[in-house]
Structure 1
């Protein structure tokens, strides 16, 4: 199927969906984005995603040229335009075109782009058997340099860690923060289970506050599972009973090995499976 790409209120075929080569989103990674899942024709937690988009934009002094209410309507319309029941949305806001040079205030006409398509981030076998992870030497950006809570178009930090993981034969890699604590993976948040307690790094550990992460925390609390948002180290992963990752594209996926060390018994654990089932039920309720 030929997907229709939304750009500033108009739809274009994939081949004709274009932005200027002078757009600062391309030249300098100057812009923000969101990745969202479509379930049964509806975008999961759309408002929460857009609120985070607006926060990211405000943090980099980028004015989104339409209202959040209008963008919600445009996202829904793009899903319908592409006839998607299940899929993925990539929503991008760039700084817009401007002259060469860093000055963002010489840019005009921010570009709003909505891409709707299907996605398969990991093979199904990884959901049943679990992922193998490696710790990357590339750390998360220092929060005093660029806040990890800004979901910006500049993902080179994550890409460098991703390359390390792939070169080690692992699809995902764990990134540490500037203090040597566990932050997150290259594209997903990380959870551990030890003695029935669910732990995940806190927001100030240098992570993106994931929408799926927050949904899983809510599900765990509703299920009576004790949850903690505390600093974690690699040692905590090494001795954990279970480990899993969360993200809009990844959903909930178990990890069974890190740095050539088996996590728990080397199989997806009961808490992981319980929360995975609860999450899949949650996204289908709507």
Structure 2
């Protein structure tokens, strides 16, 4: 695999160990991460990603992150990967800890930082399926980007089995929430709406930028009211009366052209939102 890996203050080869067997990120998923797209050798929106990384760490109860160390790792892997880099992953865990869920005392905690650059690129379109599991908007980690990702792994595997590249989830109240690794926008009633954060969805970087840049470009794009996008709105997409867009840090803004094994059309607002986003991204790599 064509990866550049940094941990413990230096670059590593793929077969070198970088974690202890009792790292809390490995044993109990006690960690946070961010994934950035890489454009012209630069991690896109890195400042926003690092701010969200710290918010996730705060929400998880981790100590303040060593952001200078993180930035050092980012510089190292991007320099090592060069033009091969298309995506960047930053992971910070609670570091070595007990075998159980309890943590060491704050003074004893030593966070683990791992930064990886890898090839990757965005597709022009997406294919999605609905899955029967839900996003728990009342979970203590709702809206945090943590390494406790098994639910997403299972849901995405179901999507792959159906020939799709994303799985869509409702929340526990039957409202559209998000994908396993993407935010959702629905083009309906002449507007482009994204689910409320009250549904437990992540406050995605691309989601936030599309809301900002879309409004500045005069697009009718906004966050929906908490109950404005029920799960059943996806039936409208299948019927052709609404359209769907996925957003994410690597996929950017991507119209959905197949939902639940039914071909669907990309909407005009979706196409314009994608054009606006890519143009603004080209002008500012750290907005």
TM over 0.5: yes
| Structure-2 residue corresponding to 1:113 | 114
Q: RMSD value over aligned CA atoms?
A: 2.2
| Structure-1 residue corresponding to 2:78 | 79
| Stretch deviating more after TM superposition (26-35 or 76-85) | 76-85
Answering whether residue 236 of structure 2 is matched by residue 236 of structure 1, we say: no
- Partners in 1 of 2:98 and 2:217 — Cα distance? 54
| Structure-1 residue corresponding to 2:203 | 209
Answering whether residue 255 of structure 2 is matched by residue 257 of structure 1, we say: no
| Structure-2 residue corresponding to 1:59 | 59
Matches within 5 A, 1:133-172: 133-140=128-135, 142-172=136-166
The TM-score with structure 1 as length reference comes to: 0.88
Specify whether residues 161 and 146 from structure 1 end up closer, same or farther in structure 2 by C-alpha distance, changes over 3 A only. Answer: farther
> How many residues are paired up?
275
Could you say what secondary structure the match of 1:217 adopts? helix
- Partners in 2 of 1:100 and 1:241 — Cα distance? 49
Unaligned runs of 5+ in 2: none
The TM-score with structure 2 as length reference comes to: 0.87
| Stretch deviating more after TM superposition (242-251 or 10-19) | 10-19
| Structure-1 residue corresponding to 2:273 | 275
Unaligned runs of 5+ in 1: none
Contact persistence 1:200–1:229 (CA under 8 A): yes
Specify whether residues 70 and 169 from structure 1 end up closer, same or farther in structure 2 by C-alpha distance, changes over 3 A only. Answer: closer
Contact persistence 1:190–1:245 (CA under 8 A): yes
Contact persistence 2:156–2:167 (CA under 8 A): yes
Could you say what secondary structure the match of 2:48 adopts? helix
Could you say what secondary structure the match of 1:184 adopts? strand
C-alpha offsets along residues 82-128 of structure 1, whole Å, 9 cap, x if unaligned?
2247511110001111232221126732110000111146xx4xx2x
